Amino acid sequence: MVSDAEVSGVARAIIDVCSAVVAEEEGEPAPVQRVSLPVLDRALPIAGLAERAGLDAVATDVLRLLVAAELDRRAHRCMRRLAQDPTLPGIEVDAVVTAAEGVGISSALALEALEPEGRLVGRGLVEWTERATGPLLTRRLTVAQAVLRLARGGFPTPTEQLLATTKVAIPLEELALADATAVVGRAPQHRYAQLVFEASSGRPPWLVGPAAVGKRTLVASLAARERLIVRCIDYRNIAARPLDALVPALWREALIHEAMLVIHDCDASVDAARSPSALYGAVARAGVPAVFTSAETPRLADFDSPPLVLELALPPPERRAVLWQSALGVTDEQRELVQLGWQLPLAPGRVIRAASVAHELAAIRGTALTANDVREAVSQQVAQKVATLGKRIRDSQTWDDVVLPPETTDSIKELVARVRLRKQVLEDWGFQRKLAKGIGLAAMFLGPPGTGKTMVAGIIAKELGLELYQIDMSRIASKWIGETEKNLASIFDAAEGANVLLLFDECDSLFAKRSEVKSSNDRHANAEVNYLLQRIERFEGVAILTTNLESSIDPAFKRRLAFRIHFSVPDVKERETLWRRMMPKEARTASIDYGAFARDYELAGGNIRNAVLRAAFLAAADDSPITESHLERSIVLEYRDAGKLSPGGRLS
């Protein structure tokens, strides 16, 4: 901390200078006497801060004068007496220059140190008390509270910071990266090593990669080799702040903590008036030691001077397997757990979190760790992020409840096989190297309502051992620019590598055809479709989309689908089978001619299911078995619900 002697010495100089100036202005014959500042102790925090900020001797002494005037009441009162209006907050620049002259600093150099473009102001050590205009001498300033707290030997409070968090560094060779770290002698050599150099040289690099892949961890590990810590700042928390105030605050954060900054999640602007590229340009011009990160590659056309973009991919299966094994603390003999590295391609950060939760689940049960614990831990991560935009569906139906044409059944079997045998074909047989796009699988189920699209998606998920998450399309779409894309990104990021199947039910509004741009609304709608095309192409999981309006789907989107499976209204024979299968064996029934109902009413499977259930409640209310009369009454109700006054013909 700044010693009492240091503050008292500088304060004494301020008091002597100010007293002499006031006496001269009041007609005293004695001229202003020059005094000397005490020698700066290089071990003090202010000296270290000045050195890190690159302050010259003049700027350092001006900062010392300001700090003493803030910490010593007598010096503060004396400095304010020199101002034209002592009642205003802050210290007037003219008073600071007068005090500087009294300790041997020329007024020109003192003014230069306090210029808005100078390092004292530009690096956040000194702040203007208001958005001042007019001559520099009339403006008022104050030392940043974080600097004063540091001078007192304390540490900035959360309100004096940028909601930043310190990232813990781990040895570089222990990181699970897509490309292994090569160790030459005692110094790890890595292709990302220039990150720290670039960040410190005024050209912030930009790291791109999936969520939790380890972008911030990598920067922290590299910075630790230079004895720097990393402070992480969420772009969404600072996007709306004016750049002229934000950039000095970023500099101050870096200087006080002796840190490199990572500004993360820079995918989309929260403030529609400013994109992340604007902040990048301001940070680069100011020379703030920083690294930017995002999940998506930034549009280089948005930058005046494009950043160095480095991609950080998911580690390959063999390295994921090693990470899973290490995080779970299992041996090679526990094959089922070791194989999770291949089955669940999670990012490293999510692997570590899932392993921790899995151990907690096993401890609660008081049993050994199992693969089900791990899958449940992964499921919890997904549920936490998707809960606001969708829900988990647990379906009890089986293939026995489904009646489909042979061609539809064959397509579904192929889809299941494609997912089940993906590792064998793509990885073991080497086909993944031949694919330019992602290895995920996206399918579209097309057909009228009630033909079994959603039910089949649930059965497929159950057969593949996946958890089904039905996405609420009404919650995804937003009128606010960028919100729809952000919602989609959160869903895909949460599901990436997890044991889930995403179901986008009735997706017509989101996947509609792009239109000719005639207004900003058209441009915004087209941007949403473009983003979705790119994001679903990169998705490595399984996604099923359902619609009953194939003509409204964008053609470019159709080309990116692995499967387009049509669900038609069942024919007479299929309807009879559905009537019989929908009636449980335990139900009390009278003699029913199911063939007659199949011939007389052109209902889809969902309508037949509803009619059978309604008939069952009608029969229960009558305390009788289910009869043809109950079924006929329930069919009439189905048609009326669909807006038809009399039963007959196709319902959908």
The mean pLDDT of 423-437, rounded to a whole number, is 72
- With CA atoms as reference, report the closest residue to 549 among 512, 498, 578, 574: 512
pLDDT at residue 617 tops 90: yes
Q: What's the CA gap between 65 and 59, in Å, rounded?
A: 10
The mean pLDDT of 4-16, rounded to a whole number, is 68
Residue 55 contacts residue 40 (beta carbons within 8 Å): no
Output the CA–CA distances (angstroms, integers) from residue 341 to 335, 357, 360, 525, in the order listed.
11, 16, 20, 38
Q: What is the pLDDT of residue 88?
A: 82
pLDDT at residue 467 tops 90: no
pTM over 0.75: no
Lowest model confidence (mean pLDDT) among 53-62, 257-266, 312-321, 565-574: 312-321
The mean pLDDT of 551-567, rounded to a whole number, is 78
Q: To which H or E segment does residue 229 belong?
A: strand 229-234
pLDDT at residue 458 tops 70: yes
Residue 70 contacts residue 60 (beta carbons within 8 Å): no
Residue 391 tokens read as: 């829900």
For 622, other C-beta atoms within 10 Å of its C-beta total: 12
Q: How do beta strands 126-128 and 140-143 pair? A: antiparallel
Q: What is the pLDDT confidence band of residue 185, given thresholds at 50, 70 and 90? A: very low
pLDDT at residue 112 tops 90: yes
Q: How do beta strands 165-167 and 206-208 pair? A: unpaired
The mean pLDDT of 623-627, rounded to a whole number, is 93
Amino acid at 175: L
Residue 365 tokens read as: 């049960």
Q: What is the pLDDT confidence band of residue 627, given thresholds at 50, 70 and 90? A: very high
Q: What's the CA gap between 170 and 148, in Å, rounded?
A: 32
Q: What is the pLDDT of residue 2?
A: 52
pLDDT at residue 526 tops 70: no
The mean pLDDT of 117-141, rounded to a whole number, is 86
Higher pLDDT, 301 or 21: 301
Amino acid at 296: E
Q: What is the pLDDT confidence band of residue 630, given thresholds at 50, 70 and 90? A: very high
Q: What's the CA gap between 190 and 173, in Å, rounded?
A: 10
Q: What is the pLDDT of residue 22?
A: 63
Which residue do the tokens 């619900």 mark?
641
pLDDT at residue 624 tops 80: yes
Amino acid at 145: Q
The mean pLDDT of 467-481, rounded to a whole number, is 78
pLDDT at residue 436 tops 80: no
Q: What's the CA gap between 255 and 48, in Å, rounded?
A: 9
Q: What is the pLDDT of residue 249?
A: 93
pLDDT at residue 316 tops 80: no
Lowest model confidence (mean pLDDT) among 160-174, 257-271, 486-500, 516-530: 516-530
Could you tell me the strand order of the sheet in which 206-208 lies?
165-167, 229-234, 259-264, 290-294, 206-208, 309-311
Q: What is the pLDDT of residue 161?
A: 63
Lowest model confidence (mean pLDDT) among 177-181, 203-207, 324-328, 590-594: 177-181
| Residue burial 168-197, b: 16+ Cβ < 10 Å; e: rest | ebeebeebbbeeebeeeeeebebebeebbe
pLDDT at residue 135 tops 90: no
Lowest model confidence (mean pLDDT) among 152-156, 220-224, 454-458, 624-628: 152-156
563 DSSP β-pair partners: 443
User: How confident is the model over 573-602, as pLDDT tens digits?
Assistant: 999 999 999 999 899 889 899 999 999 998
- With CA atoms as reference, report the closest residue to 255 among 221, 291, 288: 288
Q: Where are the beta strands (DSSP E) in 63-125?
A: 91-92
Lowest model confidence (mean pLDDT) among 31-35, 67-71, 116-120, 559-563: 31-35
Q: What is the pLDDT of residue 159?
A: 54
Q: What's the CA gap between 369 and 81, in Å, rounded?
A: 72
Residue 639 tokens read as: 């048609």
| Helices 93-102 + 57-71 axis angle, to 10 | 110
Q: Which of 17-21, 159-163, 246-250, 513-517 has the highest mean pLDDT?
A: 246-250
Q: What is the pLDDT of residue 213?
A: 87
Return the ∠ at Cα 51 (arms to 157 and 168), rounded to 5°: 50
Q: What is the pLDDT confidence band of residue 187, given thresholds at 50, 70 and 90? A: very low
Residue 528 contacts residue 552 (beta carbons within 8 Å): no
- With CA atoms as reference, report the closest residue to 328 among 306, 307, 344, 305: 344
Q: What's the CA gap between 62 and 557, in Å, rounded?
A: 63
Q: What is the pLDDT of residue 643?
A: 78
The mean pLDDT of 273-298, rounded to a whole number, is 88
Residue 569 contacts residue 605 (beta carbons within 8 Å): no
Tell how many helices (H) and how many strands (E) occur in the chain.
29, 19
Lowest model confidence (mean pLDDT) among 81-90, 193-202, 315-324, 370-379: 193-202
The mean pLDDT of 484-499, rounded to a whole number, is 79
pLDDT at residue 626 tops 90: yes
For 48, other C-beta atoms within 10 Å of its C-beta total: 14
Higher pLDDT, 22 or 218: 218
Residues in the chain: 652
Return the ∠ at Cα 576 (arms to 572 and 581), rounded to 5°: 145
13 DSSP β-pair partners: none
The mean pLDDT of 295-317, rounded to a whole number, is 85
> On the CB side of 641, how many CA atoms lie within 13 Å of its CA?
11
Output the CA–CA distances (angstroms, integers) from residue 204 to 221, 241, 285, 310, in the order listed.
17, 20, 10, 11
Q: What is the pLDDT confidence band of residue 313, given thresholds at 50, 70 and 90? A: confident
Residue 37 contacts residue 10 (beta carbons within 8 Å): yes
Q: 339 in helix, strand or coil?
A: coil
Lowest model confidence (mean pLDDT) among 86-90, 108-112, 255-259, 582-586: 86-90
Percentage of residues in the chain with pLDDT exceeding 70? Answer: 83
- With CA atoms as reference, report the closest residue to 489 among 300, 207, 296: 296
Question: Quick one: three-class SS letters along 261-327?
Answer: EEEECCCCCCCCCCCHHHHHHHHHHHCCCEEEEECCCCCHHHCCCCCCEEECCCCCHHHHHHHHHHH
Q: What's the CA gap between 391 and 470, in Å, rounded?
A: 5
Q: What is the pLDDT of residue 184?
A: 33
Q: What's the CA gap between 469 and 141, in Å, rounded?
A: 55
Question: Quick one: three-class SS letters along 39-65?
Answer: CCCCCCHHHHHHHHCCCCHHHHHHHHH
For 228, other C-beta atoms within 10 Å of its C-beta total: 21
Plot region of 54 (φ>0 → left; ψ -120 to 50 → alpha; else → beta): left
- The burial of 33, by beta-carbon neighbours within 10 Å (0-12 exposed, 13-18 middle, 19 or more buried), is given as exposed
Mean of pLDDT over the chain: 81
Residue 358 tokens read as: 């899995």
Q: Which DSSP letter does residue 380 get?
A: H
Residue 347 contacts residue 217 (beta carbons within 8 Å): no
Q: Which of 64-68, 329-333, 393-397 has the highest mean pLDDT?
A: 64-68
